[in-house]
Structure 1
Amino acid sequence: MSWPDDFLETPAFDLVARALQADMIGKTVSNYRIEERLGSGGMGVVYRATDTRLQRPVALKFLPEAYHEARATATLNHPNICTIHEIGAHEGRQFIAMELLEGKTLKQELGAGSWEPGRSVDIAIQVANALEAAHEKGIIHRDIKPANIFITQSGVVKVLDFGIARMPDSAEPQQFGTRGYMAPEQVRGGAGDARSDIFAL
């Protein structure tokens, strides 16, 4: 086993997490063969995988806890929403298999340099179209932010992480959202509604 260069400065918990993530490479979960770790964040770890049944590349996201609303959001079918192929569990951890996207997040794009106003309008319209489709089905995203907006190489905008959205009538005490983008009612601990997504946009 080789130790990372920052071994002495890295908390033990993070070292264990890295080891567990690396251990997933090469494993098969359901019918998905994990090939590469793409990234991680507060809402889980994402891997590149191959659907061995349909022979197509997918993104496989392991969530830190179970989200009972995820199955409802899998019914969303819109060109500006990242498609969810399957929701399952592996060794007690819930995972979401979704379309594998090529491109960059809006957060990455904004950090790259200059930005044309016209492009901002185009991206906002595509995100608004995605939210409209979700809200029509009573699904609220709860965490619209640049990191959850993906721009493909062809310029199509995809809203990510609808797998952790909620239905408006669900009771869920845990607060979701990112400060700086949260609506006032979310900051106060409220669940929020469709207007909260519009505020973030």
Structure 2
Amino acid sequence: MSMPASMSVCSRCSAALVPGQDICSCGQVITARDTPDNALLVQAETLYESYLQTRVRSAERALQAARIQLARRPTSASLSARVYECTRELKTAEAKLVDQRLRTDAVRRDSSETVAPSAGPSEAFRSTQSVKADIALARLQVERLRDIVAAGEPSAQFEAKAAAHAERILKNRQRDTSPCPACGLPLPHDATHCGCGFAVSRAARETSSEFLSTEEIAALRRSR
């Protein structure tokens, strides 16, 4: 169980201290340096909450893109699985955001309830709180890197282009003819030679169908 954000420890015996406690049970008088700087903690938690909000928006966009692709190919098992995975990721991101909002609110309440010390913080105290802030920011950066590595997936825009390219390949293969790789004229699938003299192989026909668009084939014909 982690210690509440507003709770610190005695510098003498390391016993837990509650906000506003002036003297520890060991007799140590609590000074300003024993009190956490809640302003820095609030800033760090708020920053992490903003990051989680960005994750939710990104998950929403990914789910929307997956649903559009599935609508185009409703019988695709891989796209159905993608929609399911995007839905799960969105729910996970939303749950993390809800938990973080509760944590941020709790830190804000503790900060407002903590009585500020009468004397200004010492240099050692400011240095300690700076380290705490660096740790909080490092936590945010590690979380972002972990999400990026765990995702390991292409962007929604790239997936949309890939899906469109796959559909084009499928349509080309379903046609009765395919373009000659040399001159671009349509050839029956069982043709072995083109009128231009090019010996057509199956591999050449499939390559031209997959990597030449309609506009590219038309340009090739004009150049002949």
User: What's the TM-score, normalizing by structure 1?
Assistant: 0.21
Which has the bigger relative contact order, CA under 8 A and spacing at least 6? 2
More strand by share: 1
User: What's the TM-score, normalizing by structure 2?
Assistant: 0.19
More helix by share: 2
Which structure's CA Rg is the greater one?
2
